[in-house]
Amino acid sequence: MVSVPRFLCDAMLGSLARWLRLFGFDCLFSLEEDSVLVETAAREGRWLLTRDRELAARGPRTLLVRSETLEDQLVEVFGRLGIEAEPTLEGARCAACNGPLKDAARKEVAAGVPPFVARTAPRFRRCTLCGRVYWPGTHTARILERMRRVVDRTGSPVEAAR
């Protein structure tokens, strides 16, 4: 059985944390001081992702993220760790808190979403931790397109080594 990596992103990588969650990875985001980050990552068996060279040198499962743009960071993390990501939101986690998402009935979420969405959205998913509700909207196509670009780039040895 292949182990699915879990992550902890430091304060410099909030956008990367959100997108790793959209890809379906368990990814914490923390503003804690370095010693707490190192301890948490070690205790929970997470990869610590950082742009801080000193912090990256402190733990056995740390990855210094060199890329500056979000797409480049995703390509770098997937490539350097040999992760085969899928361009789908089916396994996505809550972008806000990292909680698992579960399907929710329209009647369960109708009061918490805009009326038009409550009437027309084909599917709803709710975070089991914070209760945030997700549905396919106008932004979904853009998210999936970005995911496809990232996944397409991870297949290239040149991009993976960047």
Local structure of residue 106 (DSSP, 8 states): H
Which of 21, 147, 25 minimizes the C-alpha distance to 94? 21
Per-residue pLDDT 10s for the chain (162 aa) are 457 899 999 999 999 999 999 999 999 999 999 999 999 999 999 999 999 999 999 978 999 999 999 999 999 999 999 999 999 999 999 999 999 999 999 999 999 999 999 999 999 999 999 999 999 998 999 999 999 999 999 974 434 333
Which residues on neighbouring strands pair with residue 134, listed in sequence order?
Answer: 125
Amino acid type, 100: P
What pTM, to 2 d.p., does this model score? 0.91
CA atoms within 13 A on the CB side of 52: 17
